[in-house]
Structure 1
């Protein structure tokens, strides 16, 4: 009956459901670590494969569109209102990847790691305070301070070795701002992971590909078929469909602060992997930075886990 107090028997069920949702959120956030680390490495690799940043974006949108078409048959067409759709496309579909791909033409993967997912916890925290009324608790400030110290060490170890990379760093920062705004929007409007992912995948290609084909510089004809196929699959399927879904699902399950603090581990993972794979070495300060970022991430996870119990 309306107004009747909930039965005490429902409390354990609610607790179990919340615990399950929290586990799903953390699993999705951890999976994003690997998808985003591969995105940084693959994007940096593309800058040496004779293709332009516009070409990489075209492969991203084409791959995502091909995978999204059969998914529509399962989940149906996303039905975001026009203005919300435009905002999601401007930030997640075009802003983040286009700034990132052009940034990798000037700066290495370690810079991209620091300036893209590395700055994301701070940008989302600032937006949360400004637009959602969130507070900066002492525990949250502590975890972000540890992450920030790690980022400074990681940056000090790698940024000086690449003079002129500041242009790429600014582009990376613009990309991180775009993704932070997208994170705010999905929380503010309650957009589901499926709806957001399919909206990005279905609308990006029809908008971008004709412009790219007729107007934008391209050297895609000089690229080996294997490299094209790799970027099509990774950028389109893994970085757009899979990572986009996992990130949005994590935000809806455990919140943006916990999700973005976990993904702050991406710079360290990417920098460590770029050492043997791309020949971009990491010194003692960089290794110490990776350790500090990991510690800050663990502080955040333990804090959110303890609060939920």
Structure 2
């Protein structure tokens, strides 16, 4: 019987914490429209509030050192307003479960396609099988949404896929360029805050002044700090402690947990076909992961 080290225990705890952080983010983002806040307000919170912590850290660590200007520009754009606004717009049309399946769920499939197109890296049979299951589950979910009255859900699904394309590009480039956590925070938060906040303040529609206090605080805390900063720290610790394979396998639970929370908290209807699609997606995600057990200590 292998005894897990404290580092492995906290690594698994961090990975499962990310599952609930991301799943609740799906719910919080879905109900944001009910608070009177616009998608532009949510984007401003994501960059502006996170910068309250990111700016002092960046000034201390100076993460721009070692990065070329082109790298800073590309990473900042990929994690910038176009990506975020696509995702927030998706929640205006599609339920939380769709956010999980078309963003988190499509990442392995997109990564495989990027590998084939850009690097001529052919996937193994297991990865192909998992990708097929993911694709089938996405098609089934989209078809079921249209059949049960969600005619505009496809718009949200498409926007989520665009968001997944942006995020997959970030994962690919950050690995290829060996981008560190502080460099991600600098590019994804500080640079975008400098560029976006003046545009939002001067020209974009806002419901910030009319938003009730409680929903405003919920969105401010969750959009501003939790996914950007807390999620990043947890991912880094989990990957370092239990390996990328184990971390990815646990994160496969995000679409299913997001769909379940959407049904329990928001009352979103999950038909039997949608539940089967989520199960199929989870199996597909687990199949695509190259799992590597952590070394016993």
Q: TM-score, normalised by structure 1?
A: 0.81
Which structure has the greater CA radius of gyration?
1
Equivalences for 1:154-165 in 2 at 5 Å?
154-160=141-147, 161-165=149-153
Equivalent-residue separation in structure 1 for 2:127 and 2:104 (angstroms) = 17
Distance (whole Å) between structure 1 residues aligned to residue 134 and residue 40 of structure 2: 33
Give the SS at the match of 1:106: coil
Name the structure 1 match of 2:21.
35
Q: 2:52: which partner in 1?
A: 66
Three-state SS of the structure 2 residue aligned to 1:222 is coil
Q: Does 1:239 align with 2:236?
A: no
- In structure 1, the residue matched to 2:209 is 221
Deviation at 1:26, TM superposition (A): 6.6
The answer as to 2:108 corresponding to 1:121 is: yes
In the alignment, what sits opposite 2:97? 110
Tell me which residue corresponds to 1:169. Answer: 157
Query: Residue 93 of structure 1 corresponds to which residue in structure 2?
Result: 80
Q: Do the aligned residues in 1 keep the contact of 2:108 with 2:131 (CA within 8 Å)? A: yes
Correspondence for 2:263 among 275, 288, 292: 275
Tell me, in whole angstroms, the C-alpha distance in 1 between the residues paired with 2:86 and 2:195.
Answer: 17
1: distance between equivalents of 2:16 and 2:284? Answer: 15
Measured in 2, the distance between the counterparts of 1:222 and 1:242 equals 28
Once residues 203 and 75 of structure 1 are traced to their aligned partners in structure 2, the CA distance between those partners, rounded to angstroms, is 15
Residue 259 of structure 1: how far off its partner (Å): 6.0
Give 5+ residue unaligned stretches, structure 2: none
Partners in 1 of 2:63 and 2:178 — Cα distance?
17
Q: CA RMSD in A?
A: 3.1
**What TM-score comes out, normalization by structure 2 length?**
0.83
Residue-by-residue CA offset, 1:204-226 (whole Å, 9 max, x unaligned) = 21211110000111111110122
Name the stretch that deviates more: 211-220 or 169-178: 169-178
State the alpha-carbon separation in 1 of the partners of residues 136 and 14 from structure 2. Answer: 26
Tell me the distance in 1 between the aligned counterparts of 2:6 and 2:176: 23
CA contact (8 A) 1:40 1:113 kept: yes
- Pick the aligned partner of 1:138 from 106, 125, 138: 125
Gaps of 5+ in 1: 1-18
Counterpart Cα distance in 1 of 2:74 and 2:288: 29
Instruction: Show the counterpart of 1:47.
Output: 33
- 2:230 and 2:185 map into 1 onto residues whose CA distance is 8
1:147-183 alpha-carbon deviations (Å, 9 max, x no partner): 3344344444434331123222222221111111111
Alignment coverage as a number of residue pairs = 289
Displacement of 1:99 in angstroms is 0.7
